[in-house]
């Protein structure tokens, strides 16, 4: 775990900021209605976990969820996991909740790396969704059908998702940088009837034509009836090159109003996918009500989002943070979309965007912040960032040095929220607290309503400071409805409940902190075990990221002489060599700041580190290559060619 110096207080909100926060208003309302008094956030969290039916009903009311029919019971079978049922008897529509505002305020602002800018008001967004929903209905789409997107992060993707879910059909999407096999591994499991796609996209100053890939998809997706193409690279895409292709403009209808399907609380809204690095991706089905409720809670109570805010997250349509971002429409905020490289034309691209579009909540992956620091660009020297109130980071643990970088090089008066959850729950187990202080290297708090604990391998709950398995001991509304093609629920059960009976095991190796927060130490399945002692890879990365000569790294365990030895692979800056001086400095820093057990047995230089398309290091794939084992589903990787650098590495012979 981090040393005491790593966990030092780094920022606290002032009294004015706390007094106006949504979380404070929510707390005061609950206190008034219950007669209770919560002395601090921890007390409120304990109450939310101990009284789930009351808590989630309060969240639904505070966040303004719109029900067509109210529930008869907020929670039934509360002790079953899986099996608990939420808001029984309630009916609603997911898209209707995201489109309840229909005024002239901006709903979506779109920017890309070429400088293109589009803006849609809430009224314009509603009308365009109405037209597309009309087209879908005329195409025979009904509730329960699947509609897929192979799309850049642009307004058309949002419109297509909202039109789909307004009918009660189920939306699923991949970003256009996915290869054919990766898309088919996902979409052929769910058999969509409609595929929305752009003719191409831009990334890193390159124009990528998607039409050859789209034609292969059109010929290979089982049950596909229509391919709807919208222009992104060119004004007139070549529709003749794609089987069953129709232009967006020809497909839309004329309706100006939306017939929102009124559906049960747990009616499926999204199919999401596991990373797929150990086989075909699992298809995770999420319900409309649970997704909406979790996102609104995280936006309004934990991110302090309001109608005057502009919410941005650097993401693609293939990452769960896209779904999370778009739900900001339910709060009435302006959602800012960006498509392209965050370093095009230079490392300041996203920070100029933050200034120009008056972004108040800025989200990104931890890897981006590390890369930005390594680039040498100092945002505060070039951008005012006057409106920026919160920076959120996820995807991997945020190193303590990245906390330092944010406060010294981006903005001093900003709430830095390191958040963690996953596609599995389409939300967070730990995230930000607008009323609380930020401690270096820590996630601020456990999510309200989330019964998070740390378990030892035998299932015993561990105290603060002890590292173990991150679990959730009680049900929550955004648990998956089911896995696709899993009629008995066996895959679902195996994914989360095989380890501990009636307890969700998330797969993270973590520890609670004395400040009420959390530290993610690494993935459980990538935990290192030299000498039988469990070590989280994030503990090593936190130290390596302090070394300026190193751009990237991955640590894995290699079977060696009846034990496990730690191998650290590093990517060096141009012109830097791994000489004895640097080698010894790396080992010394790890030994001094972590422990002697964390020191790698071997340090090896490679040219690149393999990652998933959402930026996560694929330690399991590297470990497989090191051991000469096959890597399943290479399509899950953004840069599968990087694995060749690890195969028969000379330093391991």
Residue pLDDT, tens place only, 188-237: 999 999 999 999 999 999 999 999 999 999 999 999 999 999 999 999 99
Q: Sort 596 into a burial class: Cβ within 10 Å, 0-12 / 13-18 / 19+.
A: exposed
Q: What is the pLDDT of residue 265?
A: 98
| SS3 of residue 649 by DSSP | coil
Residue 276 banded pLDDT, cuts 50, 70, 90? low
The pLDDT tens digits of the residues spanning 64-85 come to: 999 999 999 999 999 999 999 9
Dump pLDDT digits (tens) for 598-653.
899 999 999 999 988 777 888 888 988 988 888 876 777 889 999 999 988 888 87
CA angle 500, 277, 444 (to 5 degrees): 55
Does residue 2 register a pLDDT over 70?
no
CA torsion sign for 183, 96, 66, 359 is positive
What are the pLDDT digits (tens) for 305-359? 999 999 999 999 999 999 999 999 999 999 999 999 999 999 999 999 999 999 9
Domains and CATH numbers, the chain: 9-99+288-451+475-499 (3.40.50.12780), 122-264 (3.40.50.980), 527-652 (3.30.300.30)
Residue 374 pLDDT > 60: yes
User: Which run of H or of E encompasses 338?
Assistant: strand 334-339
Q: How far apart are CA 161 and CA 194, in angstroms?
A: 12
Please tell me whether residue 325 adopts helix, strand or coil conformation.
helix
Give DSSP secondary structure letters for 50-89.
Answer: H-HHHHHHHHHHHTT---SB--SEEEESTT-TTT-EEEET
Q: What is the dihedral of CA 563, 594, 508, 519, to 10 degrees?
A: 170
Identify the band that residue 532 occupies on the pLDDT scale cut at 50, 70 and 90. low
Is the omega angle on the peptide bond into residue 353 within 30 degrees of 0, that is, cis? no
pLDDT tens string 170-194: 999 999 988 888 899 999 999 999 9
The whole-model pTM stands at 0.89
Does residue 210 contact residue 199 with C-beta atoms inside 8 Å? yes
Please determine, for residue 1, whether its predicted confidence score (pLDDT) is greater than 90.
Answer: no
In this structure, the number of other CB atoms found within 10 A of the CB of residue 61 comes to: 12
Evaluate whether 99 touches 125 at the Cβ level (below 8 Å): yes
């Amino acid at each position: 775990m981090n040393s005491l110096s790593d966990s030092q207080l780094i920022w606290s909100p002032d009294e004015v900021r706390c007094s106006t926060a949504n979380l404070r208003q929510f707390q005061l309302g609950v206190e008034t209605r219950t007669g209770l008094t919560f002395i601090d956030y921890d007390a409120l969290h304990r109450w939310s976990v101990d009284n789930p039916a009351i808590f989630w009903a309060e969240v639904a009311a505070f966040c303004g969820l719109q029900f067509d029919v109210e529930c008869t019971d907020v929670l039934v079978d509360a002790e079953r996991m899986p099996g608990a049922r939420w808001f029984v008897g309630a009916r609603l529509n997911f898209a209707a909740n995201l489109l309840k505002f229909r005024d002239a305020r901006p709903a979506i602002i779109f920017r890309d790396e070429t400088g293109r800018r589009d803006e849609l008001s809430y009224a314009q967004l509603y009308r365009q969704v109405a037209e597309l929903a009309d087209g879908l209905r005329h195409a025979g789409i009904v509730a329960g059908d699947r509609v897929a997107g192979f799309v850049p992060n642009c307004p058309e993707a949002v419109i297509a998702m909202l039109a789909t879910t307004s009918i009660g059909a189920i939306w699923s999407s991949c970003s256009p940088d996915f290869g054919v096999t990766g898309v088919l591994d996902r979409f052929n499991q769910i058999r969509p009837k409609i595929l929305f796609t752009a003719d191409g996209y831009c990334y890193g100053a390159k124009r990528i034509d998607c039409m050859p890939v789209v034609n292969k998809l059109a010929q290979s997706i089982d049950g596909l009836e229509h391919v709807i193409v919208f222009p992104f690279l060119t004004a007139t895409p070549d529709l003749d090159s794609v089987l069953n292709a129709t232009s967006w403009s020809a497909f839309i209808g004329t309706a100006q109003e939306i017939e929102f399907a009124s559906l049960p609380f747990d009616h499926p809204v999204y199919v999401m996918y596991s990373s797929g690095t150990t086989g075909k991706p699992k298809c995770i089905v999420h319900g409309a009500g649970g997704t909406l409720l979790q996102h609104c809670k995280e936006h309004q109570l934990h991110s302090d989002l309001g109608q005057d805010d502009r919410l941005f997250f650097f993401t693609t349509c293939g990452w769960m943070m896209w779904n999370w971002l778009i739900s900001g429409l339910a709060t009435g905020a302006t959602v800012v979309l960006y498509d392209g490289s965050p370093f095009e034309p230079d490392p300041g691209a996203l920070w100029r965007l933050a200034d120009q579009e008056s972004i108040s909540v800025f989200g990104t992956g931890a890897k981006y912040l590390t890369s930005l620091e390594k680039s040498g660009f100092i945002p505060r020297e070039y951008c005012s960032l006057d409106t920026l109130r919160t920076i959120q980071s996820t995807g991997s643990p945020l190193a303590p040095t990245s906390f330092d970088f944010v406060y010294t090089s981006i903005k001093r008066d900003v709430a830095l929220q390191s958040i963690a959850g996953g596609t599995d729950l389409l939300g967070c187990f730990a995230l930000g607290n607008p009323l609380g202080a930020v401690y270096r290297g820590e996630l601020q708090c456990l999510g309200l309503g989330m019964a998070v604990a740390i378990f030892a391998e035998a299932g015993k709950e561990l105290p603060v400071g002890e590292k173990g398995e991150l679990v959730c001991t009680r049900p929550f509304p955004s648990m998956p409805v089911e896995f696709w093609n899993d009629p008995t629920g066996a895959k679902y059960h195996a994914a989360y409940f095989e380890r501990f009976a009636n307890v969700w095991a998330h797969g993270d190796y973590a520890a609670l902190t004395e400040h009420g927060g959390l530290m993610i130490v690494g993935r459980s399945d990538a935990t290192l075990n030299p000498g039988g002692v469990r070590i989280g890879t994030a503990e090593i990365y936190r130290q390596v990221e302090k070394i300026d000569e190193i751009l990237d790294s991955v640590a894995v365990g290699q079977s060696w002489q009846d034990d496990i030895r730690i191998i650290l692979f590093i990517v060096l800056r141009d012109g830097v060599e791994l000489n004895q001086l640097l080698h010894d400095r790396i080992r010394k820093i790890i030994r001094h700041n972590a422990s002697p057990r964390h020191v790698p047995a071997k340090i090896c230089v490679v040219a690149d580190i393999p990652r998933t398309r959402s930026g996560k290091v694929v330690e399991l794939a590297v470990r497989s290559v090191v051991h000469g084992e096959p890597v399943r589903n290479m399509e899950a990787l953004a840069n599968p060619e990087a694995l060749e650098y690890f195969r028969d590495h000379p330093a391991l012979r």
